Amino acid sequence: MKKEKRNLLAEASEKSPESTLSLQLSLPALELILEAKAQIEALSAQAGITILKGLMEQEIQQRCGPWGSQTAFKHGSQPGFMIYAGRKASVTKPRLRSKEGQELPLESYRAFQQDGQMQRAVARKLIRQVSTRDYAGAIDQCLEGYGIARSSVSRQWKAATAAELEKLCQRPVPADIKVLLIDAKYFHQECLVVALGVDGQGTKHVLGLWHGSTENSTVVKALLNDLRERGLNTEAAMLVVLDGAKALHKGVREIFGSLALIQRCRVHKLRNVVEHLPKEKRSQAAWRLRGAWAKGTEQEALKELRKIVCWLEGISPSAARSLEEGLEETLTLQSLGLPRELITSFHSTNLIESCFARTESWTRRVKRWRDGKMVMRWGAAALLVAEAGFRRVRGCDQMPALIQALARHQSSLEKGLKVA
């Protein structure tokens, strides 16, 4: 069978461009060819250009969104090129702009700027877009040509995502993690608790994930224990960014104790507070809270927040109680005396939430999650692809200030133990 597939590809490369184009090489068909260990280099340059055009068109359609709710727009084209089998070939590159007029890069085009990138580009595209049962017309035409059963696509996808899960769960945790962000992502009734780490250079890393029926402290502790076994230093001071979930808080405290400097997510706190208020008061409350958190020192911010609590008492006592709960933990970053850029990066769980948003866009086609294993496989694959596009956090050049603050905190704890 393998020899026959290789022969088919060799024959396709020898045919005329028109004949090759008639194969209608769609994205999933390419994946099938790759999974069957066929060499993409055997295809003609014309077929490679056709593939790139198809990938760019698919990317544009996805990123623009449905008519009436577009988030980006196609804006003409320009000459471009691709590197294929060691040669440069001319292509027409579509242009894409955001609603604000900003030029947006095409990942599919960029992936073809280096030789040997086609397979990785196809795999990345598959992870982002594919529920393998979603390609009815195009895939059936190609499957018939290659004699591959539709069910084999699902089997190969399952094997590929299982490999990604194993990779994520077994790789060592970087030794110099200074910030830990933990949050949960729900896939219908299934829950994944995910840990994201930031090292001393400001580089983000997906550290691990754990499946549970709910976001409870047992799941959090299991995840942290797994990370500890793979190298996470739980005996060093750590900045930990959490939302308001008590289970996360409890799990972190049981593993790190006082070494954890917990920064409560301000976005979640604000959202929780305003939900208790009448609509006409929500904008004012949000404005006042953001103003208080923007104060330069912990003392100034705390003073202003206390005033807001008193103001809320006269409107909604429940909103006042919501703000008071964990209030000082929303000011951990100010208490450490960190630069404003680092406060902007770590005042919320947005770093991990944005990762979840990308994961959601890649898994939205899944209609039914059969079990926790399926959630773990898809989650791991999507998170690793998201990680490949990570940039360093804002204010990464000021990470030494955080490292010094953590060292001071640990030193103060050690001195306290010696005195006791």
Count of the separate structural domains present in the chain: 2
**Residue 303: domain span:** 172-414
Distance CA 334, CA 295 (A): 9
Q: Is 153 inside a domain boundary?
A: no
The answer to whether the predicted template modeling score (pTM) of the entire model surpasses 0.85 is no
How many residues does the structure list for the chain?
A: 420
**241 and 114, same structural domain?**
no
Q: How many Cβ atoms are within 10 Å of 356's Cβ, its own excluded?
A: 21
Residues 222 and 364 in one domain: yes
pLDDT, tens digit, 9 for 90 and up, residues 279-329: 999 999 999 999 999 998 999 999 999 999 999 999 999 999 999 999 999
Q: What is the pLDDT of residues 13-33, one digit of tens each?
A: 444 444 333 333 444 444 444
In a domain, 293, yes or no: yes
186 within domain boundaries: yes
Residue range 177-217, pLDDT digits in tens: 999 999 988 877 788 899 999 999 999 999 999 998 777 88
Whether residue 188 sits in one domain with residue 313: yes
For residue 208, what is the enclosing H or E element?
A: strand 204-212
Residue 156 falls inside a structural domain: no
pLDDT tens string 333-351: 999 999 999 999 999 999 9
Round to whole Å and give the CA distance between 145 and 345. Answer: 51
142 plus 209 within the same structural domain: no
